[in-house]
């Protein structure tokens, strides 16, 4: 759709009689402002605040003020930028930018409530999953090229953990896709309530698996072994400072917005019914569950994560898939 | 100027601390850890404990500087990105405390590094440590604003000075 528009815009703008074509501005607005770059970055930072606030309230604290995540990023942008001796300066400079680009691109395929995604086509679910995988690979490279042993250990752990949660996550989303009979996010979103009482059990199994593996995807407690600050400093991010760290932080928040947005689009009924408002409410709901999970458990060792994923979570996701096939008939 | 004010505000509101024991008896470290527990809720000020000195703005130093730790302390300090601040926590970090004339002790942290705020006590209470960090925050903000003023002044008056000198 967008490509066609681009072609139209291109031919339109080269035509001397037609002058400047408005579709270019429209597309740029969609990509850069809403529902593209600005929206998703701010949504990610907002969700970070929601997460930190809920976490604080669960510990009986007051927690940070609402503007805290924005100030954190601003401060990082204003700090000194260090490239350590052992690091590859090219990778060190460009990987954080690439990381942010990948996660923002993933969000372009996700419909914001009734507001259609910037770029949607049958099969965009697979593209989003692929881009999220790419984000993990970039995290690995971030650690690997930072020239620090902590970075390398963290990078290897990130990939090990990736093997643990990726299959259940994909299986859980596949269950939803099977029930809705489509690989397109917007179609699955529109069909979340189809066959309402009959599909609920399968939905719940898939939702539980998706939430747990999303927690692993986003490297949050209890699956934060790759960034475990008490053993390996900060994992892949150990050597990053200033601007680069700010980019990585923004990318991580965006990844969170993408993951949470994906789950709320695919599983919750509100985005399709209540539009943008419903989308934001559902992301807050999903974040709430993730924060409660984060506040109530301690960190797994990396081998325990793998065992948990393959022994206990994967059978559940497989069960969900089989049930989905049976229930759909 | 608006931007500089926002940057000063962001520096002041988001101090990430790293913690380094340069040779103390560990009681100060326990108090520093107690400061970071939910009871004192330092996240109200945006304070977060960071494992990596590369992410930190403030180095909390406890204990006297021993001859062996000096190199490591300097190294950790140089790993931090500017602008960086140091809080010396405990009598030992101030002057060497009970260890002041040991054969292997150089003295307080300020014998090696520029300390910004001293928090006395053996060990200081968490409230005192929080008060010390909040003092550093005020210093961070005024430093950022001063730097902005200086830049503005030198940008405005730089040419005149040059002519005058000739
Ligand atoms: S100031 Fe007191 S508590 Fe702190 S390190 Fe020195 S002796 Fe230990």
pLDDT (mean) for B24-37 = 88
**Which residues are registered as beta bridge partners of B89?**
B62, B119
B55, B108 Cβ separation under 8 angstroms: no
Quick one: pLDDT at residue A287? 92
Distance B124 CA to ligand 1 centre (A): 9
Distance B120 CA to ligand 1 centre (A): 10
Q: Which of B9, B41, B83 sits opposite A71 (nearest CB)?
A: B9
Tell whether omega for the bond before A35 is within 30 degrees of 0, i.e. cis: yes
Roughly how many angstroms between the first and final C-alpha of chain A, as a whole number?
A: 34
Quick one: pLDDT at residue A50? 92
Range name among B7-11, B18-22, B61-65 with the lowest pLDDT average: B7-11
pLDDT (mean) for A320-325 = 84
pLDDT in tens, A181-232: 788 887 777 777 776 677 777 788 888 888 988 888 888 888 887 777 777 7
In the predicted structure, residue B60 carries a pLDDT above the cut 60: yes
Q: Give the CATH number of domain B2-156.
A: 3.40.50.12280
Q: Do A80 and B38 touch (CB under 8 A)?
A: no
Quick one: pLDDT at residue A304? 84
- Residue A176's pLDDT band (boundaries 50, 70, 90)? confident
A162, A312 Cβ separation under 8 angstroms: no
Residues with CB under 6 A from ligand 1: B 24-25, 27-28, 62-63, 90-92, 97-98, 122-123
Count Cβ–Cβ pairs < 8 Å, chain A vs chain B: 83
Atom of ligand 1 nearest to the CA of B91: 1
Report chain B residues touching chain A, CB-CB < 8 A.
6-7, 9-11, 13-14, 38, 41, 43-44, 46, 49-52, 54-55, 57, 79, 81-83
How far is Cα B31 from Cα B136, in angstroms, rounded to an integer?
18
Tell whether A97 is covered by a domain: yes
Pairing of strands B48-49, B65-66: unpaired
pLDDT (mean) for A295-320 = 86
* Top-ranked range on mean pLDDT: pick from A25-29, A66-70, A325-329: A66-70
Please give the tally of structural domains in chain A.
1
A76, B48 Cβ separation under 8 angstroms: no
Residues from chain B that touch A249, judged by Cβ atoms under 8 A, are none
Range name among A186-200, B65-79, B96-110 with the lowest pLDDT average: A186-200
Range name among A62-71, A182-191, B21-30 with the lowest pLDDT average: A182-191
pLDDT (mean) for A37-45 = 87
In the predicted structure, residue B160 carries a pLDDT above the cut 60: no
In the predicted structure, residue B166 carries a pLDDT above the cut 50: no
Segments making up each domain of chain B, as ranges: 2-156
Distance from CA of B142 to the nearest CA of A (A): 15
pLDDT (mean) for A2-21 = 50
Tell whether A21 is covered by a domain: no
Mean predicted lDDT score pLDDT of chain A: 82
In the predicted structure, residue A36 carries a pLDDT above the cut 80: no
Distance B96 CA to ligand 1 centre (A): 9
Quick one: pLDDT at residue A114? 67
Distance from CA of A231 to the nearest CA of B (A): 9
- Residue A19's pLDDT band (boundaries 50, 70, 90)? low
pLDDT in tens, B134-154: 888 888 888 878 877 777 777
Task: List phi, psi (to 5°) of A43.
Answer: -60, -40
Mean predicted lDDT score pLDDT of chain B: 83
Quick one: pLDDT at residue A18? 53
Complete DSSP assignment for A110-139? S-BTTB--SS--TTHHHHHHHHHHHHHHHH
Tell whether A279 is covered by a domain: yes
Distance from CA of A102 to the nearest CA of B (A): 24
In the predicted structure, residue A125 carries a pLDDT above the cut 80: yes
- Residue A289's pLDDT band (boundaries 50, 70, 90)? very high
In the predicted structure, residue A38 carries a pLDDT above the cut 60: yes
A223, B39 Cβ separation under 8 angstroms: no
For residue A232, the enclosing domain spans: 38-328
pLDDT (mean) for A252-281 = 84
Question: Both tokens of residue A74?
Answer: 């601003």
């Amino acid at each position: 759709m967008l490509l066609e528009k681009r072609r139209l815009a291109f031919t339109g703008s080269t035509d001397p009689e037609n002058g400047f074509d408005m579709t270019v501005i429209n597309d740029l607005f969609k990509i850069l402002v809403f529902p593209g770059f600005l929206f998703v970055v701010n949504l990610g930072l907002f969700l970070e605040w929601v997460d930190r606030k809920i976490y604080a309230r669960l510990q009986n604290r007051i927690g940070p003020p609402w503007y805290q995540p924005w100030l954190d990023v601003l401060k990082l942008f204003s700090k000194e930028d260090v490239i350590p001796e052992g690091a590859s300066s090219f990778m060190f400079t460009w990987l954080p930018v690439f990381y942010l680009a990948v996660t923002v691109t993933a969000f372009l395929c996700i419909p914001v409530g009734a507001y259609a995604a910037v770029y949607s086509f049958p099969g965009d679910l697979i593209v989003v999953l692929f881009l999220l995988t790419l984000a993990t690979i970039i995290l690995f490279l971030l650690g690997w090229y930072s020239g620090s042993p902590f970075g390398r250990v963290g990078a290897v752990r990130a990939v090990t953990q990736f093997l643990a949660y990726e299959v259940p996550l994909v299986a859980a989303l596949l269950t939803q896709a099977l029930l809705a009979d489509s690989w397109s996010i917007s179609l699955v979103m529109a069909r979340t309530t189809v066959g309402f009482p009959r599909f609920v059990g399968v939905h719940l199994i898939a939702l539980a698996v998706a939430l747990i593996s999303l927690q692993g995807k986003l490297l949050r407690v209890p699956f934060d072994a790759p960034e475990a600050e008490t053993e390996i400093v900060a994992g892949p991010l150990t050597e990053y400072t200033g601007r680069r760290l700010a980019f990585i932080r923004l990318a991580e928040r965006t990844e969170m917005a993408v993951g949470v947005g994906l789950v709320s689009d695919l599983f919750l009924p509100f985005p399709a019914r209540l539009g943008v408002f419903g989308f934001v409410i559902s992301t807050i709901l999903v974040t709430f569950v993730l924060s409660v999970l984060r506040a109530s458990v301690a960190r797994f060792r990396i081998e325990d994560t793998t065992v948990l994923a393959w022994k206990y979570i994967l059978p559940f996701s497989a069960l969900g898939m089989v049930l989905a096939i049976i229930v759909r008939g | 100027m608006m931007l500089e004010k926002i940057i000063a505000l962001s520096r002041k509101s988001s101090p990430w601390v790293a913690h380094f024991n340069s040779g103390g008896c560990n009681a100060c470290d326990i108090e520093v850890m107690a400061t970071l527990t939910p009871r004192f809720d330092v996240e109200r000020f945006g304070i977060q404990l960071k494992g990596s000195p590369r992410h930190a703005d403030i180095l909390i130093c406890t204990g006297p500087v021993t001859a062996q730790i000096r190199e490591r302390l300097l190294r950790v300090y140089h790993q931090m990105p500017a602008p960086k601040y140091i809080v010396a926590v405990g009598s030992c970090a101030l002057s060497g405390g009970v260890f002041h004339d040991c054969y292997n002790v150089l003295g307080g942290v300020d014998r090696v590094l520029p300390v910004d705020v001293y928090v006395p006590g053996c060990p200081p209470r968490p409230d005192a440590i929080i008060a010390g960090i909040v003092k550093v925050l005020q210093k961070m903000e005024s430093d950022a604003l001063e730097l902005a003023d200086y830049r503005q002044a030198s940008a405005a008056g730089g040419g005149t000075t040059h002519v005058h000198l000739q």
